Amino acid sequence: MGETEEEGEVNKTLSDAIDETIERLRAKGGIITADGCASSLIDTLQPGQWREMALHSIASTVHRRFQRLVDKTDERQGWLPGVPQFIKVTDGVLANDDATLEQYRESEAELAARIKSYDYPRRSPEKLKRDKRTLAAMRKQDRRFAPFMAGEPEMRMGRARELYQASLETPRALRDRKGGKAKNRRNAKSTT
């Protein structure tokens, strides 16, 4: 992800301020420590500059944290392990349960595109495997929940999950699952 023009200016200003601080401390003589340099730099910055640089630094850290949230899955999710807790939307992240079907599918398409980019040798095979598992789980969730969201563009994935789980508890669904187990047992006995 490239940096914006504003971020570039902030980085340039910070870089120049660090260079000036190092030169000033070098002229004084002695050992220059990172903490000492940072402290001296903070003392020389104007309040507006300090806020802008701190905001840039914090935003970069938050961006990295967002990426970790998107990459992280919760295997303890009883309803569908392997699906990320958060999905990437436009410039931020959104909890999976709060996503609309359209937002969810955009995130799914972005993940599929990222998987295609693994053709380049600099990509990690472990991350490719993880991304493929995540995409498979996301597609499985899409197939299960999309019918409940059809015609309701503002419905959230969390509500669709609740409807799906309720559909599994209907008498017919329970009977079908029970009948399927008995049929499988009969088929297993007849083949032996």
User: What's the confidence (pLDDT) of residue 125?
Assistant: 82
Q: Residue 137: left (phi > 0), alpha (psi -120 to 50), or beta? A: alpha
The parts of the chain modelled with pLDDT lower than 50 are 1
User: What's the confidence (pLDDT) of residue 191?
Assistant: 59
CA 121 to chain centre: 23
pTM of this prediction? Answer: 0.58
Domain residue spans in the chain? Answer: 5-71, 86-177
User: What's the confidence (pLDDT) of residue 37?
Assistant: 80
Give 86's strand partners. Answer: 95
